[in-house]
Amino acid sequence: MIGQLDLSLLDTSAEGLKIIENNEDNFLYEHNDNRSFIDNIKLDDLNDLSGIFNDNHNDSTFCKNEKSKVSSDILTSPRTQLSPRPPASPRSKINMVNKLVENVHMMKDESHIITSPRRKEDEADEALIVKMYASMNLTSPKKCDFENYDYQSVSKLVDVERSKKEIPKFYHPLGFSTKSDNSNILEIKNIFSKYPGNEMKINDFHKIAVALGKPKTWGGILFKGCIGVDYNDDVTICYNKFVTYWIELISSNHDDAAQFVRLLVDGANKNKEENKRAFLIPSDFKFLLQYIINTIEDLDNLREASFFHELYIDTVTVRIFWRVCRFWDGKISIEEIRKSNFLSILETLHEKGKLDNEPYYFSYIHFYVIYCKFWDLDDNHDMRISSVDMKKYGNGALTSRIIERIFLIRNYHKHVNGFPHYDTTLSYTEFVQFLLADENKRHFKSMEYWFRILDIDGDGKLSFEEMEYFHEDILKELNLQGIASNSMDDTLCSLFDMIRPSNDYYITLADIKRSKMGAKFFNNFVNVTKFIEQEVSECEVSFIREDNDIAEWDDYCKTEYQSLTPENDGKSEVSDEHEISSLNSTEELGF
């Protein structure tokens, strides 16, 4: 119960009641840990309360001396004539006291900070509130001990809430981790037990691949990955060594793509512990492709012509990097393997008749066409193509400026015996890249190849001057052949209308890819024959097959194969024996 109040003592000046906001907050947010002192407050004499307040108004809990401009005599002065408004009614003061007590009880029950009951419209009441809180602080037997406060319970609650909001891992470069399944280990043990000393050679390791749920074509890389570079035809693997290696491999590589890359990397490096790269380079594929030559039934006759093994391996390797590798750094990442169709095609190669009908990587017919094209251009048969040799390509289809740019771009800086050496010819693998780019311009790698050729200053933009420079050679060839053509301005205007670039003054690679008209665009600058073919046609065929970027190349290889083997009566498929004999009869290879 609140005692009787002498309300006459509450008449104070409004100007004397102005309190700095920081001082007021210090009072309003003071905690009181004593749960019972509120009920025992008895204001027997308001003069005593005023006395307490007057004696302690300079305390740090009430206001800061250096900031407070309010003097104690003003705070306790009676009402003067300077007061801007009359004193509040006695009834309002009693209501304020009751409300203050209710708020204090609420703090005791709900354990939260009391919100300020300040009423801006009645500044006189602030004096009473300040006095009440001042007396409460002075009579409080115990303050909150922040130093010994148990923050551990609070941190546990924070950790629980944080764990609920934690974002699950969504990037798995080595595949999704699943519960290991060792059910096939017993089957592998049974297979090893059938061989002397529980040791197996590579010839029978396709059985282990099948037991692990992998394609038969994985047999070689499973064996080589475990052995490493120290491989020969007589080496064997025991059960314990392979199982230990396989369990360690799958513990960190959780899907086929990651496991495939790890197997090829381990099989191509001496120190597997130091070299844990997560990408493939061209040399990593050599053993796998040689294993395919030795085991795939469709390549039986190629197996007998050992000279062509390396050429076939180089051709397939270039085609793998052409389609799988997104960049030009000569590295295939796990993610690129995962997104490509390479592993799914590799899985089907052991089936009879699949290899020649596979247009992406392994087709022997495609290899046959590529090699014959290279051999026809290589006059001195030194396995290098010079700029003079290149002029014969397509019966002079390439302009002189394009040939110059091709050899300038491919003029890699190499070191021979510690001294710089500039190679002015194309190797076989570089010619394979060129042929893929010229005969399949719809593929994104082909667009990147030719854009780099045309972009003379290397700024990533094809300007009017650059396009005019290369199209001039096309117009010259047309004039020599007596073929009428559009003017330069008309051609460039039509190209800009076709590509619809983002900028009216140049064309970027992104513009060409977005337009899906890259083949027609680049033929205006690169290949005279293809330019004539698309110009004389009434309109470009709008029908595009589902897999157009490979269908164009596949059609080219089938057509060329028929022209190279006219004795097969128009059939696109012949026996491997005939193909090998045809290659060997080509000027006896010059050897």
Mark out the alpha helices in 200-252 (DSSP H runs).
206-211, 219-227, 239-252
Task: Give residue 100's Cα distance to chain centre.
Answer: 61
On whether the CB atoms of residues 1 and 42 are closer than 8 A, the answer is: yes
pLDDT value of residue 28: 47
Residue 96's pLDDT is what?
A: 62
pLDDT score, position 409: 84
Structural domain boundaries of the chain?
A: 7-139, 191-362
| Other CB atoms within 10 Å distance of the CB of residue 187 | 14
Q: Tell me, what's the pLDDT at 13?
A: 44
What's the confidence (pLDDT) of residue 175? 53
The residue type of 177 is: S
What integer pLDDT is reported at residue 276 of this predicted model? 77
DSSP annotation string for 255-301? SHHHHHHHHHHHHT-S-TTT---SEE-GGGGHHHHHHHHHH-GGGHH
The conformational region for residue 468 under phi > 0 = left, psi -120 to 50 = alpha, else beta, is alpha
Residue spans of the chain under pLDDT 50: 1-24, 27-29, 31-83, 110-121, 137-144, 146, 149, 151, 154, 170, 176, 412-417, 541-547, 569-582, 584-591
Domain spanning 191-362 has what CATH number? 1.10.238.220
DSSP 3-state of 420: strand
Q: What is the pLDDT of residue 537?
A: 75
Q: Is the dihedral of CA 452, 456, 458, 462 positive or negative?
A: negative
* Cα 52 from Cα 175, distance rounded (Å): 74
Please check whether residue 252 is in contact with residue 260, taking contact to mean a CB–CB distance below 8 angstroms.
Answer: no
Residues 6+ apart with CB under 8 A from 258: 173, 174, 175, 278, 334
Task: Locate 289 and state its tokens.
Answer: 């492709």
Q: How many Å separate Cα 511 from the centre of its chain?
A: 23
* Alpha-helix residue ranges (DSSP H) falling in 296-397: 300-304, 307-324, 334-339, 342-347, 364-377, 387-390
